[in-house]
Amino acid sequence: MRRFALLALASLTSLATAAEPARKGLGADDPAGEPRIYKHSAGQPRKLELYFPPNHDPTKAKVPGLILFHGGGWGGGSLGQFRAACAYFASRGLVCATAEYRMLSKAEAAALPAGETRKRVCITDAKSAIRWFKQHAPEFGVDPARIITGGGSAGGHISALATLQPGLDDPADPAGIDTSVVAYLWFNPAFAPDDAKDPEIDVLRFLKRDLPPAIAFFGNKDTWKPGWDAAHKKLRELGNTTTELWIAEDQAHSFFNKEPWRAVTLRTADVFLQQQGLLQGPATLAEPADAVLKRAAP
C-alpha cells in the first residue's frame, strides 16, 4: 500500500503545480492506483483502482471510503477521469477507488426491449462495485458505514441510481450488503428529462427528503443543467436541505476535467467533506486565483 500512497502524493504535487500557462487537462499522466477486479459481467472483468493514505495501516485505522464513477455518455470514458481526485483525497486520509462498469455498444443498445435504455447495465455494475468496496472494507481499513460516492456526468447519474434504486441488482452480488452511502460528490451529473421514458433509471423517481448530504458542480453554460435543476427543485419540494450547488461562470459541460477548475472543485469538495466530519484538517490543495465557484441559493 505504501507504493500507492506515494503515487497519491505525486499526483497531488502535479495538481498543485497544474496552474501553469499550458493548463494540462485530465489524462493518462495521472498515476493509476492499485488495480483490482471487482466482478465479471458479460464475460468481461470489471476493474477498479484503489488509492491509500500515506502510511495507512488497515489493522489500526478505519477511515471513510470514497468511490467515484467516470463519465462518458454511458458508452465511453475511462478510469483516468478521477485518478487525480482519488490521489488527492487519499492524501487527505480517505481510502479511494475509481471504478469502471459495463457499457453497451450501439448495436447492443439498439437490441434492447422497448422502454429500456443502455444505462441499466451501468447501474447494476456500479452497485456491485460499491458492495465489493464494502465487503473488502476490513482488508482496506475502511469504515463501511462511512462510504462516499459520486462521479462526473454519466458517472454522477450512475452513482445516484446505484445508491437510490432498490432494483437493478446483480443476483451474484453478496447478500446482506447494501449500497447506502453517507455523502455524494457530483460533478455535473447527467440527469436527463428523457429518463422518464425508462422509470428504472429516472433519478427524479427515487429522490428523497433524507438524501445524504450532496455537493454538485455545474457550469452555467452546461446544456445538461436543466436536468439537474429539475432534480434540485424536487429535492427542495421534498424538504431536503442538505444539497449544495456550486456554479462556474461561463463554463460548459465537463469543465471540472481541466485546470484550474479541477483544483477548485476538489478543494470545494474537500471543505464539504470536512463539514460532514469525513475529513480532518484544512484542505492541502491551493485555491487557484483565476477560478471562482459561486454557491447557488439553497
pLDDT of 132: 98
CA atoms of 3 and 52, how far apart (whole Å)? 9
Integer angstrom CA distances of residue 53 from 1, 3, 142, 239, 288: 8, 10, 11, 37, 24
Mean pLDDT on 56-74:
97
The most distant pair of C-alpha atoms in the chain lies apart, rounded to whole Å, by 52
pLDDT of 13: 42
Domain ranges of the chain: 2-295
Task: Judge whether 100 and 138 are in contact, CB under 8 Å.
Answer: no
Is pLDDT above 80 for 3?
A: no
Q: What is the mean pLDDT of the chain?
A: 92
pLDDT digits (tens, 9 = 90+) for 147-171: 999 999 999 999 999 999 999 999 9
DSSP lists the bridge partners of residue 6 as none
pLDDT of 298: 83
- At a CB cut-off of 8 Å and minimum separation 6, what does 225 contact? 188, 218, 219
Mean pLDDT on 100-123:
96
DSSP 191-217: --GGGGGSGGG-HHHH--TTPPPEEEE
CATH of 2-295, one of 3.40.50.1820, 2.60.120.200, 3.10.180.10, 3.40.50.10860: 3.40.50.1820
pLDDT digits (tens, 9 = 90+) for 232-284: 999 999 999 999 999 999 999 999 999 999 999 999 999 999 999 999 999 99
Is pLDDT above 70 for 24?
A: no
What is the pTM assigned to this prediction? 0.92
Is pLDDT above 50 for 97?
A: yes
| Cell matching residue 59 | 489493522
Task: Judge whether 293 and 265 are in contact, CB under 8 Å.
Answer: yes
